[in-house]
Structure 1
């Protein structure tokens, strides 16, 4: 049985640029930064409050991807259509203000939603993320079904 998510990944243009963004702008910690024998760089970061979680920053290309696949992934990144997921915060407005002051590009200011308060930001590679301050009904299926009109349930 799966017990939790340990590693998630996102594609980035440049390892060092992405590392600087996540560490300097978002306040993440480096978990691992090593180059393997085959030339693959294993670079993971994570929020200090979640020390066992690793967010892998991966540049498309060998040895993981052939040239065609790497080109496709870079095209999708350039379009800004890839999402790296949703990050939780205890105070969305405060985190928004802190990150904005550090130069993080926000696509949406904090907005009240049925599940809490949400802002949306982009990383230096064009990936977008939701920043959520979840409320007490965020994980209540019935409340979310009512809020969103039963769409997508069943």
Structure 2
């Protein structure tokens, strides 16, 4: 079986990113390992997602920018398109929780043939879909 285990998301600060993804989005911190010289291996994934090693569940590797080129990509890794898709079993619950946590939604929830969806921005301006498939 093949699967995507991690997707790298370039951030400006590890702790600020961890706080956003765990507090505002409700993810769990899977790993935070010091790699020396100020570098860390930081992995988060949606709470309740099974361990990626045996299920194919994908996590985010939060990687602090190390140079000007990487800093320039923060928040623009997908050129302004929705680049991340957070599926939920209860759209109304998660939408309300995220709003209460200060997550910025760019639109009101929509109910499309494929499911309930609303676009939001993460801490850096990356666009995400919160989606409950039909």
TM-score by length of 1: 0.72
Decide whether the 8 Å contact of 1:33 with 1:41 is kept in 2.
yes
Counterparts in 2 of 1:1-154, with a 5 A limit? Answer: 2=2, 4-37=3-36, 39-52=38-51, 53-61=58-66, 67-74=67-74, 76=76, 81=80, 83-135=82-134
Decide whether the 8 Å contact of 2:28 with 2:47 is kept in 1.
yes
Return 5+ residue gaps in structure 2 as ranges.
52-57
What are the Cα deviations for residues 14-37 of structure 1, in whole angstroms up to 9, with x where unaligned? 211110011111111111111214
* Pairs aligned (count): 127
Higher strand share: 2
What's the RMSD between the two structures over aligned residues? 2.2
TM-score by length of 2: 0.82
Q: Aligned partners of 1:24, 1:17: CA distance in 2, in Å? A: 10
CA distance 1:82–1:32, change in 2 (3 Å) = farther
Larger RCO: 1 or 2 (CA < 8 Å, sep 6+): 2
The list of structure 1 runs, each at least 4 consecutive aligned residues, that deviate by more than 3 angstroms after superposition, is: 74-77
Decide whether the 8 Å contact of 1:34 with 1:43 is kept in 2.
yes
Decide whether the 8 Å contact of 1:111 with 1:118 is kept in 2.
yes
Return 5+ residue gaps in structure 1 as ranges.
62-66, 136-154
Q: Which is greater in Rg?
A: 1
